[in-house]
Amino acid sequence: DTGVSQDPRHKITKRGQNVTFRCDPISEHNRLYWYRQTLGQGPEFLTYFQNEAQLEKSRLLSDRFSAERPKGSFSTLEIQRTEQGDSAMYLCASSLVAGGVRYGYTFGSGTRLTVV
């Protein structure tokens, strides 16, 4: 297994454009998470899936953000009508949750979004 893969690594877009990021998790993991990280801050939760079901979405997340995980495999995060405040590193992570025990996240390398 090659770990968690994210694509693209970097994205520069003009304000108002839509962008989509992809995450391929570790195949044995049943949960997939999206986080956002800005400079000097820790990762901030956006949303997560268990298999194909989206179980929680941050209340801080505007309706311009949407995430999908068709068939419980890869996931996409779309940002519509991007704003300069959306500039950040978008992190994907996967984990195994079994028997009520968390085994910690495996993170991808992230997608760095710059909105100009």
Partner 1 sequence: GNSVTQMEGPVTLSEEAFLTINCTYTATGYPSLFWYVQYPGEGLQLLLKATKADDKGSNKGFEATYRKETTSFHLEKGSVQVSDSAVYFCALSNTNAGKSTFGDGTTLTVKP
Which residues form the interface with partner 1 (CB under 8 A)? 31, 33, 40-45, 48, 50, 55-56, 58, 91, 93, 97, 100-110
Question: In the complex with partner 1, which residue's Cβ is closer, 66 or 109?
Answer: 109
Q: CB 42 → partner 1: shortest distance, Å?
A: 3
Question: In the complex with partner 1, which residue's Cβ is closer, 65 or 105?
Answer: 105
Q: CB 58 → partner 1: shortest distance, Å?
A: 8
List the structure tokens of 69.
């995980």
**CB distance 43 to 37 below 8 Å:** yes
Q: How far is CA 12 from the centre of its chain?
A: 17
Question: In the complex with partner 1, which residue's Cβ is closer, 20 or 106?
Answer: 106
Give ∠ CA 11-12-16 in degrees, rounded to 5. Answer: 115
**CB distance 34 to 22 below 8 Å:** no
